[in-house]
Amino acid sequence: MKKESSHEPGRKYGMVIDLDKCTGCGSCMVACMAENNVSFKEDESNKLDSITWMRVYRLTNNKPFPETEIRYLPRPCMHCGGKGDLGHSPCVSVCPATATDYDHKTGIVSQIYTRCFGCRYCMAACPYHARYFNWWDPIWPADLKKSLSPNVSPRMRGVVEKCSFCFHRYQLAMERAYNEDRRELEEAEYQTACTQACPAGAIVFGDLNNPDHAVHTLKDHPNAFRLLERLGTNPKVYYISDREWVRRSGDNYLNNEKTNTKPAVQEHHS
Amino acid sequence: MTTSDHKAKGDAPDKAPKGREGSSFGIIVSFFLIGFGLSMAVGWIAFPKLLYSEKQQPFDFNHAIHMDLVDEGCESCHLFREDGTYAGVPTLDQCSGCHEDAQSDSPDEEIFVNEYVANQQEVPWLIYSKQPDCVFFSHAVHVKTAEMECAECHGDIGTSESLKVYRENRITGYSQDIWGANIAGLKKNTWDRMKMDDCGSCHLERMGSKGPCFQCHK
């Protein structure tokens, strides 16, 4: 019976982010925090314990003035599928509480706050620093509590949280579909908040398995790469840049090593 | 001490001390039984009663009368919105269509018309099956896709003539219908308890798997 459900045509939601379009404006970070009830501290100057599901990193080629180049890299949760998309994500494998699991129907890695007891193994296991710990209970100033989204449960002190690819939007889109006697979603029906907020259109989101979705072809772009691909985490977030130094910064290359341009390098591991 | 005394006296034990010993043993046992009985009574009867505070709904509601007057059963008032979300308890606008003025001489309707309809104020109903906010539940997929009857989970509320008492857990603030009335965890009907394992067992039975966490969590 269990196998039956895994035989269903699996969706595999993922993202392709064009780093050459990203201006580093941070709209995605703001939209994400507002959408997902992400808490903040009174003093956010210490970024070490700030919570940023989506975080924009600044990359530079470390060259002096005329050749200096800057790129910004938005980093959500990579929703790693592990080898062969079997769901052996780094975080899921180590969680002793089963507070995070891999959904084979959507390819999304969950995080269940009421189940998590805050051991933070997943944070240690995640090679992308995508997971964050709540060191304090959230404090919403004044009437801000009234503007929280009812579709995302707020977290409490002592639990880990991370990007969910706005999974509540998927739940709501599916609910609408079921009400209209459908089981399939159009590409536009389920989009993450960061995707919609990006003014440059750098983020594209959709089902990597569905040929009708833009990400399906974009992920095979010759300049597409994923972060730390050679770890075998099989992330679902792809990046595109025509600059080789940008693609090279996505993994730990030896000085004499060639930059890998093909996104799928799973055969090296199997 | 007594055993060493017995040994000293050989095979001729004194009968009088043994009788005293027997009665003190009886007292100890009876004290134990009384204490055991009391603590069991506290744990199984007093505590479950104390755990819940009883709250009355703003006024009583007769589902049976309304069911006879509508055409589409439960969905006549408990609607799905256009986006597929479930609207739950009807709003004042839905009710005041008919209840602009009192339709009967029921004292409950009088409260409704005079205090709520006249003041354009929503009725603060207590929701028996309100889940914690980490739970996502889609009525659409259960009712429309899986074609389940409302009564399968909620019981025969549609034919009830009055609302039951709302029992609120003093510690968690959740309704007793979520956590279940029976402290031993026994249940006869689906609607006796609506915890995660109750959802999970039905999903396991009908879907073949409890599903991923995000199926029901948010």
* ipTM of this predicted structure: 0.84
pLDDT for the residue A205: 97
| A181, closest residue in chain B (CA to CA) | B145
Q: At residue B141, does pLDDT exceed 70? A: yes
Mean pLDDT of chain B: 88
Handedness of CA A247, A249, A252, A254 (dihedral sign): positive
* pTM of this structure: 0.87
| B144, closest residue in chain A (CA to CA) | A179
Q: At residue A259, does pLDDT exceed 90? A: no
B48 and B74 housed in the same domain: no
Hunting for tokens 């693609």 — which residue is that?
A247
pLDDT-wise least confident of A31-40, A78-87, A213-222, B185-194? B185-194
CB within 8 Å: A167 and B218: yes
Determine, yes or no, domain membership for B5.
Answer: no
B163 and B182 housed in the same domain: yes
**Percent over 90 (pLDDT), chain A:** 83
Determine, yes or no, domain membership for B20.
Answer: yes
Determine, yes or no, domain membership for B95.
Answer: no
Instruction: Assess contact for B80 and B87: CB atoms under 8 A.
Output: yes
B134 and B165 housed in the same domain: yes
B33 and B131 housed in the same domain: no
Q: What is the 3-state secondary structure (H, E, C) of chain A?
A: CHHHHHCCCCCCEEEEEECCCCCCCCHHHHHHHHHCCCCCCCCCCCHHHCCCCCEEEEEECCCCHHHCCEEEEEECCCCCCCHHHCCCCHHHHHCCCCCCCEECCCCEECCCCCCCCCCCHHHHHCCCCCEEECCCCCCCCHHHHHHCCCCCCCCCCCCEEECCCCHHHHHHHHHHHHHCCCCCCCHHHCCCHHHHHCCCCCEEEEECCCCCCHHHHHCCCCCEECCCHHHCCCCCEEEECCCHHHHHCCCCCCCCCCCCCCCCCHHHCC
Residues of A in contact with B136 (CB under 8 A): 168, 171
Q: In total, how many domains does chain B have?
A: 2
In total, the C-beta contacts within 8 angstroms joining chain A to chain B are 83
pLDDT for the residue B19: 58
Distance CA A161, CA A118 (A): 10
A147-162 mean pLDDT: 95
Tokens found for residue B111? 């409260």
Determine, yes or no, domain membership for B104.
Answer: no
CB within 8 Å: B208 and A112: no
| A152, closest residue in chain B (CA to CA) | B218
B31 and B83 housed in the same domain: no
Q: At residue B84, does pLDDT exceed 50? A: yes
Determine, yes or no, domain membership for B2.
Answer: no
Residues of A in contact with B209 (CB under 8 A): 1-2, 5
Mutate to test the interface with A, among B213, B215, B216 (most CBs of A within 10 A): B213
Q: At residue B218, does pLDDT exceed 50? A: yes
Determine, yes or no, domain membership for B24.
Answer: yes
Residues 6+ apart with CB under 8 A from B217: A110, A112, A114, A153, B134, B135, B136
Residues of B in contact with A175 (CB under 8 A): 83-85, 138, 140-141
A221-248 mean pLDDT: 94
Q: Which of B85, B133, B134 sits opposite A175 (nearest CB)?
A: B85
B19 and B83 housed in the same domain: no
- Residue B72: HSE in the Cβ half-sphere, 13 Å Cα cutoff: 6
A70-89 mean pLDDT: 94
> pLDDT tens digit string along A123-154?
999 999 999 999 999 999 989 999 999 999 99
Residues of B in contact with A35 (CB under 8 A): none
B106-118 mean pLDDT: 92
Q: A104 at the B interface (CB within 8 A)? A: yes
B141 and B161 housed in the same domain: yes
> pLDDT tens digit string along A163-183?
999 999 999 999 999 999 999
**Percent over 70 (pLDDT), chain B:** 90
Give the residue numbers spanning the domain of B46.
15-53
Q: At residue A265, does pLDDT exceed 50? A: no
pLDDT for the residue A9: 58
Q: At residue A266, does pLDDT exceed 50? A: no
B35 and B139 housed in the same domain: no
B68 and B160 housed in the same domain: yes
B142 and B183 housed in the same domain: yes
Amino acid at A158: G
Q: Which of A110, A152, A154 sits opposite B212 (nearest CB)?
A: A110
| A103, closest residue in chain B (CA to CA) | B212
Determine, yes or no, domain membership for B119.
Answer: no
Tell me which of 3.30.420.10, 1.10.3470.10, 3.30.70.20, 1.10.8.60 is the CATH number of domain A10-268. 3.30.70.20
B43-53 mean pLDDT: 90
